[in-house]
Amino acid sequence: MTDFAALRRMMVDGQVRPADVTDLRLLAAMLELPRERFFPDEKAPLAYLDLDTSVSAPGQPVRQMLKPMVLAKLIQAAGIADTDRVLDVGCASGYSTALLTHLAGSVVGLEEDAVLARQAADALSWAGLPTAKIVTDALSRGCAAEGPYDVILLQGSVEVVPPALFDQLKNGGRLVCVLGRGPVGKAMLYRRTEGDLSGRPVFDAAAAPLPGFAKPPEFVF
């Protein structure tokens, strides 16, 4: 039988801590939350590998969960307070949403794949996390009805961030994402201040692309 508790400790000690993740609340949450419960049963042994891992059911479009190190560094960069309202864009089967509930005041998980959204809702219910809500809608639209938000996280790489997402940030709000496709992306931290928006790279990162965030094609005359 697989010792998932031991794998969680190895994930934190071997992947997350060495990547300069020092937020003790986040480390404790990653040690506590059973990541394997957010994977299909046949993929549970893959839950603690140091890579982006598919959580899609057979026959469904492939969606991948961010590898633990990248997810942890994005969350740490966002500087989440226990009173913050967070939007988790592309929450897939719900692990990132569940993890965020250990840090924030309330969390909305947004997922456009209805099958994954149901899995996320079921997993959050099993975990007893009443402060999290799963919404099914297009990822690029965000979820203005539940906002505005102190923090927005994008669970995958994007070529562009739609203005609609920035508009859902509060004054002082932060948005974190992996910008760029392929192996040479940058994790970005954007901040909204008095209507202005600034952004800066915080670390090198690669991630599977989120649907709906491709750069529009350019016309060449």
pLDDT one-digit tens code per residue, 120-149: 999 999 888 877 999 999 999 999 999 999
Strands 106-111 and 85-89: parallel
Parent domain of 197: 4-205
Among the ranges given (6-10, 49-53, 92-96), the one the predictor scored with the smallest mean pLDDT: 49-53
User: Rounded CA gap, 116 and 122, in Å?
Assistant: 10
Beta strand extents in the chain (DSSP E only):
53-54, 64-65, 85-89, 106-111, 132-136, 149-158, 169-179, 185-193, 196-205
106 domain-assigned:
yes
213 domain-assigned:
no
194 domain-assigned:
yes
Query: In the prediction, which pLDDT does 219 show?
Result: 56
Tell me the mean pLDDT in the region 7-19: 97
Domain tally for the chain? 1
Residue 117's contacts (CB-CB under 8 Å, 6 or more residues apart) are 111, 134, 135, 136
Confidence class for position 218, pLDDT limits 50, 70, 90: low
219 domain-assigned:
no
Q: CATH number, domain at 34?
A: 3.40.50.150
Residue 6: is its pLDDT beyond 80?
yes
79 domain-assigned:
yes
* β-strand partners of 204: 186
User: Rounded CA gap, 57 and 134, in Å?
Assistant: 19
Reference 78, options 194, 180, 162, 191; nearest CA is: 191
- pTM for the model stands at 0.94
Reference 91, options 60, 68, 112; nearest CA is: 112
Residue 182: is its pLDDT beyond 80?
no
Confidence class for position 77, pLDDT limits 50, 70, 90: very high
HEC readout, 17-50: HHHCCCCHHHHHHHHHCCHHHHCCHHHHHHCCCC
Query: In the prediction, which pLDDT does 47 show?
Result: 93
- Whole-number average pLDDT of the chain: 92
Higher-confidence residue of 218 and 192: namely 192
Residue 58: is its pLDDT beyond 80?
no
183 domain-assigned:
yes
21 domain-assigned:
yes
50 domain-assigned:
yes
